[in-house]
Structure 1
């Protein structure tokens, strides 16, 4: 799972001169971005524009009105711009910006998640980024942080005033993440003391802590007024805005059902072949799910020790780099640092592993591979997680998150001259590439063994099942018991993994479909191009990634022209 996506906020109230007809698109998009950074300091900081670090915005009704005015104005500007004179990259950027602004307006006025999801109002990420990114000496960073800390009481008042008709699940998530926000403030107090600024931060930090605790108390007193399910009226437009696929949500769901059957049939054959060596002379069960599940369950006993979980992930990264290099699958830039770290507390509660990439303006900064350790789990819970991420699956997880998955793709994306694609990239393309990267490695012979083949089938089934689960829960009203049966019995996930996925599908919507949707479109494009004379796999990979984080349908349209 890839983290750090950018949301348009606080962008109106600008004095924007009319753009002359025929003005170069590059100048127009740069003007848009500079306007964005001036009035959206959180997005600016996430993008690496740290000169905006000291500016503060609040999640208020006035702010949302400024967003509305700004987005409508810029949407009209980009829609009026004729596409014909633009280059390929510019046309893509124009399409991405139009889609972005349309999505922002829909989220603001139709989805209205800011009103029912308290976890939307979490100020920790920019605070942590500013505190721990060495873009300037620590005293300079602390100076920029002081107004942000001082504004936290007003921030939480605005957040509280914005909330209405909250869901129980998202309210619980916000409460769960609050100690992580306090942890960032504690870290700031320590760093301020190191820099001799403890006195300047004492009162603002005390008021900020009180604001966090007050917000939690307010949330605990709220009565949930709506369910977490989107329903078909919201799901299909959200799928259209978020995924930007050539297919609808329903069509993607139906394709996933077909792929699921193909994967299960293959896994049944593989499990039957492994049964004598893994299980023994016991007659195999006739039920397909029981057969596959028994073999996977036995193989899953092989896993890393609990205390070695994060260290083992860290150790596998150079091995994956070497495989990609030795098999000439894709160029890499080993000068771009990747840091495996424990997931910050304020980010925990949704995904166990994720990539956190640097902003588009600071590609030289570290990319973090966030891994949630198993320290806080009971022995039974830890064993369940370790069996899920067993010897083989843990390698595939690292392929997906790191190399040649998210980390490699995002390094390539930051090379693209277009900041638009880096800033407002398509999540389905990003997640789809990571899933495609798994297949790329398996096809190249990585970890070749019957056990790895079966476990890859299980992992790939996970991406497919994500789509089935998400659509079934949010549109077809799938119950918890049926969801857990789908995940545990029919997709061979451990009980703990399945319950975490059930939690995730309650807290998110559509995002779980991005894996299979993006992958299926990338794979279909590759297979279509493979029929052409002179097809070269590495060249395909390089060319595909050269377009940056554009929707797959836009990339496919360009690559199929040649």
Structure 2
């Protein structure tokens, strides 16, 4: 499915918050001043104090996490590449402790509902950063967390400032590349093989950013001769540092293959802790797993019903008694209808205007024509994780492009490409585009950037973000997209089974020790996935934890909330109004948006 820039930023928090250069502390004089909440005497005064604290908290955070700031569209610290060494981890924890003390000085009973949600989001962020640093410690065992390419690509490719200004940030940022990778190698201890191999693949892809095109941009720029000379020195040193790191990763990977490596599974205790911090749904991971298991049975029944309804349209022989066998046969038959491999990216691009027209015609939500969506081939340094994703500008850069990254199939064998295309067949490719683009991730992230609360926009909840995208898939079909064609609904349920299976799969692998063979059986036999898709999902489940549950967790919360409101006032319920009000609160956890909408 996807990883939006917001989601990337959140997943990077544990590493990006590895600290800052001393230079970033120059403007943080007010960071240690406690909010004067007790002296205010009124809720209005406290609200003003909390707003001041929130704004200063964000500024202090960006000083500690300049790369996260860059991804969020805040460009004051673009020239700083943070080096995650021991001293900087100590600075991060000092930041957490200072900000937590300031936060706890507020009387939460005097905050408004909206302010209280911001309070909880800040509190959860601080807890997450501390947990990542001291308990989870992925900075030790996950080498894929170290890759400088993304930040440089963001500066080079996004036209948020004149080219010369951005190139000066590049020159400044290049200075720390050798130290960055040196610190990475010192940090890495007892890594997993899976994350080591991903690190190798993605760092090799860094040369799609550090290339002759960048050199030519600098040479043709308005930088001074001295700046161009400095760029050349630092660029050459960065290239050498990346190559050195790649060689080191190759050696490390070979050693891990020969001698064994740490298990990528994190176990029940860490999984439940991470789930509580990341999902914020109010239920345990085990409870969500049980809910998904029950939902899989329900969806199987719906698919069996549709299969029985249209079986005679595609087969002359009698339908098998085993409903899953019959459904699998029908899905296989329908999956042969798909785009040619060389047309995959172009077909995605062509479907976007059709989705825009449907949403506008049905008045489902207001789309801003001034917020561009650009379909592009996934940059090489981002490949190897997901086949489609959204890279959205942060709330500081609302006018920037949102990129729909689609990985072309030219690197696949004919067999793998055919399997992939059967998975993303005529019907499911449309559902994918709903999810990623219109009115899914792209639309939600545009609205999130317009939220009056910067806290809710910046520190959003992954389950809400993913859940919205999954919710829109069903909502669009309910509103008539696909003309209620049973084939579309059958394929939708197949797609929805992936969301359900994601939760079952992730929990089963990370907590219950599910093997690759068992995982493949779940995905291909119970969720009707193609071999290539299932293999890719297994790989993804070995590289991440909990994130795969966010789709189902958020979807169920949003859909159930909508149905609850409809049941209370069926005659007056306005779907467009619900969508726009729901999205107006940024990317806050669904349980908090519910509070705001019912109060």
TM-score in terms of structure 1 length: 0.97
SS at match of 2:405: strand
The structure 1 residue matched to 2:295, chosen from 248, 259, 273, is 259
Contact kept in structure 2, 1:416 and 1:548, CA below 8 Å: yes
1:550 Cα deviation after fit: 0.5
1:55 Cα deviation after fit: 2.1
Q: Matches of 2:215 and 2:519 in 1, distance apart? A: 44
Matches within 5 A, 1:107-126: 107-126=132-151
The structure 2 residue matched to 1:51, chosen from 54, 76, 79, is 76
1:26 equivalent to 2:84? Answer: no
Q: What is residue 528 of structure 1 aligned with on the other side?
A: 564
Matches within 5 A, 1:68-467: 68-186=93-211, 187-195=213-221, 199-222=229-252, 223-224=255-256, 225-278=261-314, 280-447=315-482, 448-467=484-503
Q: Matches of 1:118 and 1:400 in 2, distance apart? A: 30
1:365 Cα deviation after fit: 0.5
Contact kept in structure 2, 1:343 and 1:371, CA below 8 Å: yes
Q: What is residue 593 of structure 2 aligned with on the other side?
A: 555
1:191 Cα deviation after fit: 2.1
SS at match of 1:136: coil
1:199 Cα deviation after fit: 4.5
Deviation per residue, 1:87-138 (Å, 9 max, x gap)? 3321111110101110111111000001000011111111001011112222
Contact kept in structure 1, 2:113 and 2:595, CA below 8 Å: no
Report the count of equivalent residues: 560
Q: Matches of 1:342 and 1:237 in 2, distance apart? A: 36
Contact kept in structure 1, 2:35 and 2:105, CA below 8 Å: no
SS at match of 2:431: helix
1:503 equivalent to 2:539? Answer: yes
Contact kept in structure 2, 1:124 and 1:346, CA below 8 Å: yes
The structure 2 residue matched to 1:545, chosen from 583, 595, 599, is 583
SS at match of 1:340: strand
Contact kept in structure 1, 2:34 and 2:102, CA below 8 Å: no
Q: What is residue 468 of structure 1 aligned with on the other side?
A: 504
Contact kept in structure 2, 1:59 and 1:121, CA below 8 Å: no
Q: Matches of 1:19 and 1:425 in 2, distance apart? A: 24
1:306 Cα deviation after fit: 1.0
Q: Matches of 2:556 and 2:461 in 1, distance apart? A: 15
1:537 Cα deviation after fit: 1.7
SS at match of 1:263: helix
The answer to which of 519-528 and 81-90 deviates more is 81-90
| Structure 2 residues without counterparts, runs of 5 or longer | 41-45
RMSD: 1.5
TM-score in terms of structure 2 length: 0.91
